[in-house]
Amino acid sequence: MKAILALADGATFSGTAFGAPGETSGEVVFNTGMTGYQEVLTDPSYAGQIVALTYPLIGNYGIIGGDEESRRVQVAGFVVHELADVYSNWQAGESLEMFLRNAGVIGITGIDTRALTRRLRHDGVMTGVLATGDSIDAESLVEQARAKQNEYVSVDWVKRVTTPEPYFWGPDESDAKYRVSVLDCGVKYNILRELAHLGVRTTVFPATTTADELLATDPDGVFLSPGPGDPEHLGYAVETVRRVLASEKPVMGICLGNQLIGKALGGKTFKLPFGHRGANHPVKDLPTGRVVITSQNHGYALDGDSLSHADVDVTQINLNDGTVEGLSHKTLPVFSIQYHPEASPGPTDSKFYFARFLENMEKSRTGPPHASPSPSR
C-alpha cells in the first residue's frame, strides 16, 4: 500500500506503508542510533512525534519481549529507509511490522531518509502528516500539516504518558536497600530496572503528585524522570520539585528531570532547532574533564545563563553545541543529567551515575545534607 509523509514546509515523501493503515500527525524528528528501534518506539519521550531513523536498515533483529520501555508504543508514526523483510534473533517473537500493526501505529518505508534528515537539520523539526492508501493526495496532506503546525508544542504530553496510579518496582520492602519515590513524567522501564539491580525499591507516582505525597513514606531519595514535550507546560511539576528540594532529600533527575530542577531553581528552557536524538552524543564533565558518549532524546534544553545566579553549578556540557548536560546543587545532595545513563541497548559509559545517587542516599542516612560532588567513576 502507498504511504506519503507530508511536511508543513511543503515537502512530501512517497513510499510504502507498513504497520497499521490510516492517517496520523506529529512533530517529525530524527534519531541517529544504529540499534534500539524497539526502545525508541516505546520511549514515552517520543509521544506525539513521527520518528525517522537515519540508519538505513531497520527491523533485522525483530521485536524482543521484555525490551519495551513503557506499556505501549508511544510514537505517532515511524519512518525508515528500508524495512527488513526477514528478522533473525533467537529472542525475537515477532516482526517490526507486526508489532506496529498490533499497536495501531503507521509506518512508511522506501523514502530517502537522508534527504528528510538534511531538511530537518537545516530548517528545524516541523509538523508532518503520515497517511496510507492508494488514493491519498499529497497536497491536502501538506495543508493538514500546516494547519497542525503548533499542535505539538501546545499539548502537555506528560499528562498523556504518566502512570494513572502509583505502582511499585524492584525488590520487596524487606529486601530493599533503599526506597525511592519516582515522579513519572514519562519514565523508561530501564531506569527502574537499573535501580532495582542496585537494590532500590521504587514507588512510581503520577506526574501531578504533590511533594507531600512523594515524601509521605520518608523515602531515601526522589527520582525525577524523563518525559516528552515543552517544560513550559509543567508548572505543577516544577512546584513539586521546588518543594522536594526544600526537603533536603537526595534527588536525581534525568533529561526532563534535569530541566525541572533547573526551572525549580529559577532557570529557563528553550527549544532546540532539531533536538538531540541518538546514541553518539559526546558530553564533557567540566570539573574532571572526562568525556562520555551518551544516548540522548530531547528537544528542549536549559539556558545556562539563566542559572548563573542559582544555587546550582552547570557541571556538564554537550561538545557538539555547548548546551547544558548536567547540574549539581551547591549545598544539597542533588544532581541531574540531560542524557540517559539507563540507555538500552547502549552506550553504557554513564551508568555509574545511578551508583552516585545511591552514595548520596547512604551519606544522607549517616550525616547532614551536603553538596553533591561531580559524579566520578
What are the residue boundaries of the structural domains of the chain, listed by start? 2-153, 158-366
Q: Is the dihedral of CA 140, 145, 148, 149 positive or negative?
A: negative
Residue 368's pLDDT is 55
Return mean pLDDT, the chain. Answer: 95
Respond yes or no: is residue 342 known to be catalytic: yes
- Tens-digit pLDDT profile for residues 317-335: 999 999 999 999 999 999 9
| Least confident interval from 109-113, 162-166, 300-304, 310-314 | 310-314
- Tens-digit pLDDT profile for residues 207-252: 999 999 999 999 999 999 999 999 999 999 999 999 999 999 999 9
Average pLDDT over residues 111-135: 97
pLDDT confidence bin for 367, thresholds 50/70/90: low
Residue 108's pLDDT is 98
What CATH number has the domain spanning 2-153? 3.50.30.20
> 127 has which bridge partners?
27
Average pLDDT over residues 108-114: 98
Residue 372's pLDDT is 43
357: its cell numbers: 545517587
pTM of the model: 0.95
CATH class belonging to 158-366: alpha beta
d(CA 26, CA 47): 9
Pairing label, strands 49-53, 77-79: parallel
pLDDT at 281 over 70: yes
Respond yes or no: is residue 276 known to be catalytic: no
Respond yes or no: is residue 255 known to be catalytic: yes
Q: Name residue, grid cell 509521605.
A: 216
Contact yes or no for 230/153 (Cβ under 8 A)? yes
d(CA 261, CA 254): 10
Contact yes or no for 294/282 (Cβ under 8 A)? yes
Of the residues 81, 276, 298, 340, only one is catalytic, namely: 340
pLDDT over 70, % of the chain: 97
pLDDT at 20 over 90: yes
d(CA 290, CA 46): 29
pLDDT at 275 over 90: yes
- Tens-digit pLDDT profile for residues 53-107: 999 999 999 999 999 999 999 999 999 999 999 999 999 999 999 999 999 999 9
51: its cell numbers: 520518528
Which of 105, 95, 87 lies closest to 20 in space, CA to CA?
105
- Tens-digit pLDDT profile for residues 195-219: 999 999 999 999 999 999 999 999 9
Which of 322, 307, 315 lies closest to 289 in space, CA to CA?
315
Of the residues 27, 185, 255, 325, only one is catalytic, namely: 255
Residue 278's pLDDT is 95
Residues in the chain, overall count: 377
Residue 75's pLDDT is 98
